[in-house]
Amino acid sequence: MANNAAIREATATLVAAFERYNADFRRVTKRTQRRFERQDWAKMQLDAVERIELYGRSVRAATSEVRSELGDDCENREVWSAIKGQFGTAIADRIDREFYQTFFSSVTRRIFRTVGVDPAIEFVAEDVTPSEYTLDQVRTRKYAVRGSLEFVFDEMLTDYRFGTAYRNTEKTVAYLAAELDAYCRTRRDTMLIRRIEMLATVFFRGTRAYLVGRLHGSGWESPLVIALRNSDEGIYADAVIVSTNDVSMLFGFTRSYFHADLEAVGPVVSFLRALLPQKPIAEIYTVLGRAKQGKTERYRHFFQHLAQSPMDDRFVHASGDKGMVMEVFTLPSYDVVFKLIRDRFAYPKTMSRQDVKDKYTLVFKHDRAGRLVDAQEFRRLEFSPDRFAPELLDALLTGCSKTCRLEDNRVIIDHLYIERRLAPLNLYLKDAAADSAKAATIDYGQAIRDLANSNIFAGDLLLKNFGVTRHGRVIFYDYDELCLVTECNFRALPQAQDDVDEMRADAWYYVGPNDIFPEQFVQFLGFAPELRTAFLEHHADLLDPDYWNALKSELENGVHRDVLPYATKSWIELVQPGLYRPAFRPTTSKRS
């Protein structure tokens, strides 16, 4: 067995490996402000991918280094138990120590290919609990409101400076003050702002920078997010977001990760939890770019819930139509679904298992534009067979035998994806009130449009492949036929030459593997007549190949289309319609 010196060396190696990863994470994150100032959106997206890939590379490098140091003892559990003890002591006083613990466990799970959990050689879910922080540990800027809000925002814009100047500081200040004044008047006449507290760190995502904080009044608090846009004329405030629901969606599970250079993550997570108490902590970690920590927290929270729930709360098939590629199940008392790739795909599906995994990887690295669910990948989980409905367990063991098996009275699942549970759109439309169904239908078309603007074509547009969130927002979640718009060949339907062609069951014309015929979309959706009418009133151009080819050409030429994660409504407009028109908001940019 390795001696104490070797154990100390391995411990130091792993502590240093995490700190290198964390430094590299911050190095990539720091570049974002410069990208924003230069409107360099293409490089910003490359940075996002680099940062996502960084964790896996760092774990692999640390694993290789410690293997070299430990030699034959690298797979000795007693050695790793000793390393774990020393590692825990070494990081006991570190801020964000749960990140160190998760990194350590990633290494040991890679070495031992652990099934379930092994408390002797990894920090299990109960150990990796988020550190407790008080809100006064968060680095913020506080602004007392003693008179005009314009004085406050003038001071604030002085504090938050960029390499690009504000387009018109005086007008920006006036806009921010007027928006907050109007917001207060929409709530109640006596709603006065006493203090504004903002996180010192600027949050970046896509083409926007965000100042994130909260309003304090007498007996009330509200989130405050200011969205900043960098145009060719300079930076200006694009929106003032104060609704808890709107801020929650900004930090939601369908959004790409923020780039915010945080010296310590935990205190900021605590601050955001205070703003958004209904938001799962796993989602906050994830949207801050700490996807692995988000997975750890989701695992911890779910298995705690499972242990406390009654035994008759069993896994069952998820509601909705049965998929050809995935077996999908859920726990009724918990708001996620579990997705396993089937062993074989029914006709006409022709992709391989690896093709499906590649689609999920694409989503993980791509701008999700608020319309794609963040699917977290898990490996080698174990459950009690008693927690499964018999018909579900039979379906998993027979239809997903490559990844699911029964071993020593345990259900072992080698690979699955976990996503937030949504109401399938086709079922939602059957039960929803007329106004809600119409709104969801219109938003379904907008979801297709938003995805297309981010260079994603959903592929299979059937309603069953989309879900509805608790906010009524339509989200796409079936990725097996998803592809890039720039990979598609959008064609008009050829005209039949005679009645024989017209009556053929199959297409009489050649259809290539990437050919798409937009005119056919609406034929297969199964909309009720009134919903079909609503869809066509708002989105008839989605059935026109010219629309798609024009968009494809823009994307190929480097035109960036904004998909805003917030509504562009003005609070001033709500108070005095017609008084104020929003500032110029260009929707495309050729900067790359």
Contact criterion met (CB below 8 Å) for 256 and 288: no
Contact criterion met (CB below 8 Å) for 200 and 141: yes
Q: What is the DSSP letter of 325?
A: S
How far, in Å, CA of 331 to CA of 318, rounded?
8
How far, in Å, CA of 413 to CA of 322, rounded?
20
Cβ atoms < 10 Å from Cβ of 186? 12
* 423-424 vs 208-217, strand pairing mode: unpaired
**Number of H-type helices and E-type strands within the chain:** 18, 19
Cβ atoms < 10 Å from Cβ of 506? 6
Q: Quick one: 502 exposed, middle or buried, by C-beta within 10 A (0-12, 13-18, 19+)?
A: exposed
Contact criterion met (CB below 8 Å) for 555 and 487: no
Catalytic amino acids?
Answer: 374
C-alpha pair distances (Å), 555 with each of 489, 545, 588: 14, 15, 11
Could you tell me the two tokens for 280? 């799962």
Question: Residues 278, 446, 481, 343: is their CA dihedral positive or negative?
Answer: positive
The answer, yes or no, to whether the previous bond of 577 is cis (omega within 30 of 0) is no
- Tell me if residue 118 falls in helix, strand or coil: coil
Contact criterion met (CB below 8 Å) for 24 and 61: no
C-alpha pair distances (Å), 38 with each of 33, 41, 75, 165, 207: 9, 8, 49, 12, 11
In the block, residue with structure tokens 């989503």 = 363
